[in-house]
Amino acid sequence: MNKTYLIFLLFFAASYSSPGAAADPANVYEDFVRCFRNKTNISDKDLTDVVLSRTSDSFTPVLRAYIRNARFNTSSTPKPSVIVLPRVDSHVQAAVICTKTLNLQLKIRSGGHDYDGLSYVSAVTFIVLDLSNFRNITVDMKDDGGSAWVQTGATLGELFFRIWEKSEVHAFPAGICPTVGVGGHVSGGGYGHMIRKFGLTIDYVVDATIVDVNGRVLDRKSMGEDLFWALRGGGAGSFGVVLAFKVKLVEVPKTVTVFRIDRTTDQNALDMVYKWQFVAPRTDPGLFIRVLLASPTKNKTQTVNAKVRALYLGNASDVVSMMAKEFPELGLKMDDCKEMTWIQSLLWWMNYKDVEKVKPEVLLEREPDKAKFVKRKSDYVEKEITKPELNRLIQQLATLDRTGLVLNPYGGNLNATATNETAFPHRHKLYKIQHSSTWSDARPEADRLYVGSLRTTYRIMTPFVSKNPRSAYLNYRDVDIGVNDHGKDSYRKGENYGRKYFGENFDRLVRVKTAVDPDNFFRNEQSIPTLPHKRR
């Protein structure tokens, strides 16, 4: 487990005032089961599948199944006292009420892609509410051009597949990693390779059901517009347990085009990346061009690769002609392009080479208990980096091992929605950067090396990214930018990361939080705090 986060957890445990901070897991399980039985009248047979103690044979496999970062899958990583695997709404209601009654912490896990493990790790006695069985998806093509109710434990791949079963020319604008859980992805904002055409995932959420702090199941009408606003981009885990979202579908062409182009620093990479800053955020909204800057070692000579990956919602001839005029530095040719269906484009982004030979059913694969060691950070760029500055940046990146930058263009129709229409505030940025490091070496010195390299890159980027605050993307969770023990200074500590994630929308999120959860039951190390006079 990474040292910085472990130090925080130890501090958190020492400073946190909950009487459950040192509770015996066996006693917690017995108390929880007693309450859970009372609230649900569940049978003994079903209970063993829904509420898991540490002694259960299923406990470790279930816990590990959706840990997507191996840094938090070690013997020293704090474990929950109980895991709840709800199958119906009443199980979620009981989990909330009983955890609250026992004055414990509830961690809510959808797909487990929380980069810093906040959905399944804590220093105090805690319970994990694992929503992986909440995966029902109902697609209705007759409803307003197409819609779907999707439970929050479903994956994006499952949602894409169920839409494809109904229509090959309908889609949903969301991320391209098929194992990501719907709950976290949507509530954190959500984006994918159609962001410039259709905007964010949350722009297509039209209803939701949530279990609130009192155990009530609410929909959009009964929860009110303030809470519904907060669930779209504000991180739902601060406000309740979202059971399902209703989303609108979008129409896509029968034929889309993908292409990839790789360049090294001695193959015009600098000129290409520099020009990308001016083209990618301003070109046709149907074109999404991602750039990955990676620092491999080539023939023992340090270099940087610039890898372009792109989707165009249209024909290859059109995008080749467009790029010849707008982006000649890219050198795009017809041979670089592949035409396919939208569902095949998802398989292409998953790095399948012959998508015609791959069945879309691979989108249903959850790949449980499969994780590498990762660390991610995020930034936003508001003004193009000059070519000399970019050159120096690339030279510095070349000295760092296993460190990369993923550049995602904004612009297009993303800007059509006001920054306060949802809780996501970063719509008018030029592009987003994901700082990325992935490794397989489990030794502590490897963790120090790669995390240290990533933090060095983050420091190097300081002059070129947003300031006051230095903005960050909630779904690229990063405990380096601030954590909260929810003690006396909860609001101030919450501001440290809250302003970076939410900008001016942080104030409204705090007001909503204070109104719907005044005692701050739904909390984690980076949750929305209550107003100071409502602190625990």
Residues with active-site annotation: 476
- Partner residues linked to 302 by β-bridges: 297
CA 215 to chain centre: 26
The beta-carbon contacts of 462-466 under 8 Å, at least 24 apart in sequence, are 463/389, 464/381, 464/385, 464/389, 464/393, 465/379, 465/380, 465/381, 465/382, 465/433, 466/379, 466/380, 466/381, 466/382, 466/429
The tokens describing 248, both together, are 């609108």
Residues 516, 503: Cα–Cα separation, whole Å: 21
Look up tokens 């270099």; give the residue.
303
Residues 317, 372: Cα–Cα separation, whole Å: 39
CA 93 to chain centre: 25
Residue of 276, 248, 225, 85 lying closest to 171 (CA atoms): 248
β-pairing, 241-248 with 205-211?
Answer: antiparallel
Count the alpha carbons within 13 Å of 484 in the hemisphere toward its beta carbon. 27
For every residue of 498-516, DSSP letters joined together read HHHHHTTHHHHHHHHHHHH
